[in-house]
Structure 1
Amino acid sequence: MNSTLTEVFSQPVTWRQTGTLAEAANRELAAPGERMLVLGCGTSWFVAQSIAELREGAGLGETDAVCASEYVPRRRYDRVVAITRSGTSTEVLDALRRIPAGTRRIAVTAVRGEPVDDLTDARLLLDFADERSVVQTRFPTSVLAMVRRAYGKSLDGVIADGAAALAASLPADPEAVDHLVFLGTGWTVGLAHEAALKVREAAQAHAESYPAMDFRHGPVAVAGARSLVWSLGDVPPSLDETARAAGAIVHRDDLDPLAQLVLAQRFAVALAEHRGLDPDRPRLLTRSVLLA
């Protein structure tokens, strides 16, 4: 088993381990009534999008998610949360340096002793979810498990569904698919973006992601017999018929959305292996983006 798949299968365990951070996560990430900004790049940006939706949905306060490379200090925030597995991504560090004085800065990371520590006031360290693989799987889902717990969600059912996703059959034969479309709604739009990224990174395959109802507004035009349209969360069932009418394979299930992402990760690895690719060595990618 490659490192990527090993880490995929470890997720129910790492989700449970986030309980050790429950008090700190509640203190730093809930902060009722404060205006919060969540920053990240790539996978971490998509996690930030989900966190923003979850926090506002929990009634904890206004929350924005911004790609770190696009951050401009125009709005006032009470605290800024930077998600960075490695603690070294140049764009995240540069964004933190531009945060106005007096704003509380929190790092969510998997490694201690990295440059992000010197730019933040507090750190949530998920070292038990760190990864050997370039392709992130258990770190981002563990961050979301931690956040959901902090916002009042019991993880018992989530963990059980995660285990079910590891035992489930894949929704399609990778040999029959060369185009994937992931659809989400609310906080699962970020999950849809992340699922599509896993397919692009691991399998070098054509993968798209959209807020669910936007599928009809153009993206359906490229769906066909070798497309798999995959719903994450409470996507309107009517979109299944739209996808089938285009000739696509359709997948939806009743698992918790975080567990649905685990199944999508497994499919990405299976598709990579079908294509003769090593998901541990994704093309043109490194663990952290360091810019001169």
Structure 2
Amino acid sequence: MTPNAASDGRQTLMEQEAGEAAAAVARMLEANRDAVAAIGRHLRASPPAAVVTCARGSSDHAATYAKYLIETMTGTPTASAALSIASLYDAPAVAGNRLCLAISQSGKSPDLLAAVEQQRDAGAFVVALVNAHDTPLAKLSDVVIPLSAGIERSVAATKSYICSLAAIAALVAAWAEDATLEDALTTLPAQLAEAFALDWSPAVAAYRGATNLFVLGRGYGLGVAQEAALKFKETSGLHAESFSAAEVRHGPMAIVGDAFHILAFGGSDRAAVSVREAATEFRGRGATVLLADPGGGDLPAIAAHPAIEPILLIQSFYRMASALALARGHNPDSPPHLNKVTETL
């Protein structure tokens, strides 16, 4: 049986769908070119005082990526909404000129809708990134960016998450009029296909028997570290936690020793320096450390624009995660106790 094959020789749905990300991103970028440009013009003409993101799960990890990209490229303070403030506490939001960025696969979770409605009623300009069609979220939004990922049958979201990251990068590039990032997005689909083919099988061997694991990232890479930690738990039953390479030094690093496992996401920007430093330190303590870094590491990675590299890293990760789940005796397409659509109140 090949590392990512099910017992009958087929690919898992998770691997198959992740492998469709390159085509999905190309489709999404082309379909939304005019809409993204229009959003950029609107935000420059009426600059928001702040950005509020509304999301849960993998979509909230995309929101982490959005925070770093928006704040570094536009200087606009960006924060994730606590959805329960609207759905459980019925607390109003202070009126103001904000961008509300709502990110969702289904576009129908009640707490998400409550938070978006709260922001809209307070005067926010609402942009929704959503994969499903004709959703309640679309009706609350000023502009909808369809993620165009297509149907995902695996419970574990893959290509829709990658499309979310690409849509965020396109939106921020248009807002900031950043030609370098816009150019980088044109080559992203081809690079995603290349990233999917990279050999991360050493991670399957390293983490097959693991019980605890940290995933490290920083800056643009923190959101994909969060996503990887979720996928370890969701698909492999492996207890994994994500940390900024800076935050891990504020207490969590005390438990890292020779029985611990680390996956570290590097990159080509300044934030990745501390990731490599933490990886080196933890390796010196005897931990099993794998560094994925375009500058050279234990796992291969593709060098690109610093904001694009995390998207490529998570694409390589998804294929490995499917194989790891099978190696640990789990079905990544149907994790226990989980449904494809989670509707929280």
Give the alignment's TM-score, normalised by structure 1: 0.90
Amino acid corresponding to residue 56 of structure 1 in structure 2: E
Which SS does the other structure have where 1:285 is aligned?
Answer: coil
Choose from 46, 54, 67 the match for 1:52.
67
Q: Work out the CA distance in 2 between the residues paired with 1:215 and 1:227.
A: 14
Percent identity, aligned pairs only, is 26
| Residue pairs, 1:201-216, within 5 angstroms | 201-216=234-249
Distance 1:18 1:129 in 2: 10
- How far is the alpha carbon of 1:231 from its aligned partner? 1.8
Amino acid at match of 2:339: T
Q: Look up the match of 1:85.
A: 105
- Contact 1:77 1:103 (C-alpha < 8 Å) held by counterparts: yes
Aligned with 1:208: secondary structure? strand
Structure 1 residue 77: Cα displacement? 4.1
Partner residue, 1:289: 342
Shift of 1:117: 2.4
Match for 1:140: what amino acid?
Answer: Y
Instruction: Give CA-to-partner distance per residue, 1:134-184, whole Å, 9 cap, x none.
Output: 211111111211221231412244334322321111152424321332211
Q: Does 1:229 align with 2:263?
A: yes
Asked if the contact 1:182–1:196 (Cα under 8 Å) also holds between the matched residues in 2, the reply is yes
CA deviation vs aligned residue, 1:174-209 (integer Å, no higher than 9, x gap): 243213322112122111111111111111101111
70-79 or 29-38, which deviates more: 70-79
Write the distance in 2 (CA, Å) between the matches of 1:131 and 1:192. 22
Please name the residue that 2:84 is paired with.
Answer: 69
Secondary structure at 2:336 match in 1 = coil
Partner of 1:280: 333
SS of 1:107 mapped into structure 2:
strand
1:253 corresponds to 2:298:
no
> Could you tell me how far apart the structure 2 residues matched to 1:26 and 1:65 are?
24
Contact 2:215–2:229, Cα closer than 8 Å, also in 1: yes
Deviation larger for 162-171 or 61-70: 61-70
SS across alignment from 2:202: coil
Distance 1:69 1:46, change over 3 A: farther
Structure 1 residue 119 corresponds to structure 2 residue 153:
no
Q: Give the match for residue 181 of structure 1.
A: 214
User: Partner of 1:11 in structure 2?
Assistant: 21
Aligned residues: 292
Distance 1:123 1:230, change over 3 A: same
Distance in structure 2 (CA, Å) of the matches to 1:70 and 1:270: 39
Residues 291 and 207 from structure 1, CA distance in 2 versus in 1: closer, same or farther, beyond 3 angstroms?
A: closer
Cα shift at 1:91: 1.5
For 1:76 and 1:246, locate their aligned partners in 2 and report how far apart those are by CA, in whole Å: 50
The Cα shift of 1:67 comes to 4.3
Q: Is the 8 A contact 1:40 1:92 kept in 2?
A: yes
CA distance in 2: counterparts of 1:192 and 1:70, whole angstroms: 26
Instruction: Give secondary structure in 1 for the equivalent of 2:339.
Output: coil
2:319 corresponds to: 266
Amino acid at match of 2:159: R
**Runs of 5+ in structure 2 lacking a partner?**
1-10, 295-301, 303-308
Letter of the 2:255 counterpart: V
Displacement of 1:60 in angstroms is 6.0
> How far apart are residue 41 of structure 1 and its match?
0.6
Give how far 1:87 is off: 1.0
Matches of 2:344 and 2:155, distance apart in 1: 17
How many Å separate the matches in 2 of 1:70 and 1:23?
34
Alignment correspondent of 1:98: 118
Structure 1's unaligned 5+ residue stretches are: none
Larger Rg: 2
State TM-score, norm by structure 2: 0.77
CA distance in 2 between counterparts of 1:143 and 1:193 reads 15
CA RMSD, Structure 1 to Structure 2 (Å): 2.3
